[in-house]
Amino acid sequence: MPATIANDLARAPFIDLITFRKDGRGVHTTVLAASRDGMLLIRTHHTAGKLKRLRHNAAVEMVPLDARGRPVGRAQRGTARILPDDETAGSLRLLHRRHPIAGVMGTWVRHLRGMHDVFIQVNPDQDEAVATTRGTSSPAAV
């Protein structure tokens, strides 16, 4: 049975997405996300540094955050995949449904600035949640 995104991640208003540099250091980014089929869809823009990091290392950690950016659950490891452009429209509809104000306004501002949306799909790993606090990361995920 494949692993699925934990309920606290699926319900969280924000997610702390931790991607890893070549040297193994974690980079924390607060993102909006929507769940689909037990996976997490995360929107970013075409020039985001996280895309470069994911091309080198697809391992990520995700921590659910409250509306003020505070962790409200345990981290979960996963493997990220940058989705092709033809999946952007459907993913954007899911994100707008999950985040009707921040998602739609964020899209409007991004497009006004000439940014192109790119979605990342995160498949959760089978192992258990990991203890991660904001500002540090587990080197075992690298």
The residues pairing with 31 across neighbouring beta strands, listed in sequence order, are 15
Domain boundaries, the chain: 7-126
Alpha carbon distance 72, 80 (integer Å): 22
* CA-based R_g, the chain, Å: 14
Q: State the pLDDT at residue 126.
A: 76
Location of structure tokens 């949306």:
117
Single pTM value for the model = 0.82
95-126 pLDDT per residue, tens? 999 999 888 888 889 888 988 899 999 999 87
Report domain 7-126's class: mainly beta
